[in-house]
Amino acid sequence: MDNLLEFNRQQLIDYIHKFGHKPYRAKQLLRWIYRFGEDRFDEMTDVAKSFRLTLKESASIIPPEISFDHLSTDGTRKWLLNVGEKNGIESVFIPEEDRGTLCISSQVGCALECTFCSTGRQGFNRNLTAGEIIGQLWLANKMLRHQDDYSGLEREGRIITNVVMMGMGEPLANYKNVVQALEMMLDDQIYGLSRRRVTLSTSGLIPAMDKLKEDCPVSLAVSLHAPDDKLRDQIVPINKKYPIKDLMAACKRYINKAPRDFITFEYVMLKGVNDSIQQAKLLIQIVKEVPCKFNLIPFNPFPNSGYLCSDKKTINEFKSVLMEAGIIATIRKTRGDDIDAACGQLAGQVQDKTKRTMRIKSV
């Protein structure tokens, strides 16, 4: 059975053409699947009965299966989704007064080994398919429609107004499937989200950043986390391949096609590691030619991380140094930490093919 969530608009047109049906049938299907969240062909009442029968025999609409559904005291909601072979991914919905943001995953685990990230400690199993990526958005929409607490967030009929590719995995390491999912989010006949409301977070895979700006430019967040190569080599190992100077040049190139006129730099605040005033001043120098803003992220502890979060006073002083230099800096409000849904805490269930967990235990 073919899972229709794996098809973008053109692929769906090509698929139904095999059965002798015209493109307008694809438009009908897309409306039922994505606008109404329908996964039962019998309920698609304006679709010809003969076509519905063909679909029932050959196709399906199957999102990832929910293993756990957790609701935080602050309204944040986290789903653990079963993607087979004892692997689980996590998606998080963050409600705010003026928006509803869904944080979705792109891989089962992550291969980049950032030392402060819970996902990075779990190892890596595989890339998610385009259907598994867009399926997280499909499923969250369906679940949230039945949760009255979020009804006040609807804008133009939407509960989810923003999507961030900041869940498990490095999105640009799963380029083809991620870009297809992004294009589906932007497609007016599917979700029709604005490029400004879809954000991809990367640790800095420069060739893929350059390709993304040509193929599907969305808002970009770069996980920086250090003001110099020596420290970033340690905590964000991909820096050894793509050092900060090259990364800044890639960010400048990206802005030429980006939907926003700035890059967001994410910076997790690690006590005694990257949070000194001198390090803040170094940051100002390395980003001086890149229009940007900083998102300072209080570190969210997880077992055996080896790190502590910077205290509030240190974080505020760090922010002030950036602001005094004319750089917009915000401190990310921690959400969902009581259900391990906060930034850096997503770990899912990963059958590690990299043997990383085994290596860590042997050290």
Place of tokens 């430019």: 217
- Write out the E strands in the chain: 2-3, 59-60, 65-71, 77-82, 88-95, 100-103, 107-109, 124-127, 162-165, 198-202, 219-223, 263-269, 292-298, 328-331
Give dist(CA 58, CA 54) in Å, integer: 6
DSSP characters over 175-215:
HHHHHHHHHHHH-TTTT---GGGEEEEES--HHHHHHHHHH
Catalytic residue among 90, 170, 183, 266: 90
Let me know if 90 is a catalytic residue: yes
What b/e string do you get for 60-85 counting C-beta neighbours within 10 Å, with b at 16 or more? ebbbbeeeeebbbeebbbbbbbbbee
| Nearest alpha carbon to residue 44 among 68, 19, 61, 64 | 61
Let me know if 103 is a catalytic residue: no
Catalytic residue among 103, 216, 251, 343: 343
Catalytic positions are 90, 343
